[in-house]
Chains A and B, each alone.
Chain A
């Protein structure tokens, strides 16, 4: 995506939305006796400051984003999604099998997402799974 002014203003908008959400979320919080502020004081103060930062970022957006990640390609997004799937797969598989096997599957999915050679990925995933199993299920008795 090109670096135009709208793109640079996204952080400012996100900060403002976050501030509004916190403010709405704290409206039901109780106060201390005699009307002194209670649990909502700190989050509300943060919401106010987040809104100020949001306005500041909208007013003067800065473009010092890391050059290497200047533009995220479609392939890059796919690889990231692959990484996320690998991590979430751990949650699905872990209840059914051992922690080592689940970690090995995460490794396998991430390796495939990184387009590494399949033979190398299989060996690496198996070795990682065994190591994690030995460490966490064996040594640390998890």
Chain B
């Protein structure tokens, strides 16, 4: 069986180039790139859309480092964790050297993440086949709990975002009696808010409004010296460093895999955790290369591992997988154990494209991206934003040919802008929207099945283990949160 078709390979290459553009331009994120691609993906076969999405997210996360290396402007939030170190390294040893570490480190992290994804997703799906509504309820609770603690410094705001997402998921008919809720008399809302329109609003249009409000006109001029650097600077030097610091690469990748696995966390947090750990445990004062290597291997490992809970349980590991789950739902594909029985070719395509993206695409497109970065960084923002705005409205409209979806998209963009300005995280809104129906449906089914006996939620062994995991997440989350606050206070 062929892992990937020729159309898939073409989609992979096109997705990589598209992801490279979005990642390289500061302010445009991997999530935005995927959000704008989703309406197109909706019309494509899953075997073509999936490779493209994987290539977009993998390459955009790497390309986010280009801005950091050249102009100290992180292209994506995942790059911000080590932007200073990468820029300083690029100034002292050349931008191609810094970007070589980034591309090859990302590649190694991504390969490790993919291997764990292949093994972990299959194992988790086998286990999930034994789950009943009680276990799924606890899984949703676990996902929401982990999502709160992954929200950063202010847990209350993370919780608030999560509640908003859960609230959005209640629009439409309820899963118990089929009673219409919060549809404002409009039959179009009976099926719930269109997931993709909400995503485009939250991550695409809000980004446009944010930059319009801030008046971002253009990125700083790029350093043209990158074109004069030797090719060996991109491959030989970084490979030597990776061989020397292989334990660091493995450790950071495993950290990224773990963080990516947690619902709502993703590559951004993976990079921050790995970089912080490297800075805390570093023996030498000046260890820029190691900090960058830790960050890049961690964030791309997280990109792959975020797919583990998404495929096997239907829980999104990050915003990209949340959007992919939305596409799955709209195409009638149900993530979970059945996916591994009914759609195995699709799963193999996914694993195969992840490997191709990390083994071939990052080292090659990575170099190409670095070479053309100067041009990409000079793109005037005041022309780029209108194009993105047009793509957002077209994308939202194109899903169902429904003008109402454009209205929903615009409204969500405004809500996201206000949330962002108030310091509320957006990923938790998505998490709430995805997990809300799972939580409510399985709670109601379990409650009715057990004649509203609360003890029935604690009777099954796997349900008890999952409940224990929820308690452990809360305890560990509080400890980690307190440590983070203490660290921040000591650091000023």
User: What is A's interface to B at a CB cutoff of 8 Å?
Assistant: 10-11, 15, 18, 22, 25-26, 29-30, 32, 36, 38-39, 41-43, 46, 49-50, 53, 56-57, 60, 62-66, 68-69, 72-73, 75-77, 79-80, 82-84, 86-88, 90-91, 94-95, 99, 102-104, 106-111, 113-116, 120-121, 124-125, 128-129, 132, 135-136, 140, 142
Contact = CB atoms under 8 A, between A and B. Distances in A.
Interface in B138-157: 153-154, 156-157
B424 A106 contact: no
Interface stretch (B81-89, B260-268, B370-378, B414-422): B414-422
Contacts of B436: 42
Given A30-B177, A39-B181, A65-B422, A136 B394 contact: yes
B85 to A, nearest CB: 21
Interface in B411-443: 413-414, 417, 420-424, 436, 439-440, 443
Interface string B173-194: 0101101011000000000000
B398 A99 contact: yes
Contacts of A75: 215
Q: What band does the interface of chain B fall in when counting residues whose beta carbon is under 8 Å from A?
A: 35 or more
B167 A62 contact: no
Nearest to A84: B410
A140 B43 contact: yes
Given A69-B421, A82-B212, 9 more contacts: A36-B447, A38-B174, A38-B177, A63-B423, A65-B421, A88-B410, A109-B386, A116-B380, A132-B390
A15 B166 CA distance: 14
Interface stretch (B233-241, B294-302, B399-407): B399-407
A30 to B, nearest CB: 6
B78 to A, nearest CB: 17
Interface in B156-171: 156-157, 159-160, 163, 166-167, 170
B159 to A, nearest CB: 6
Contact of A124 (B179, B386, B393, B440): B386
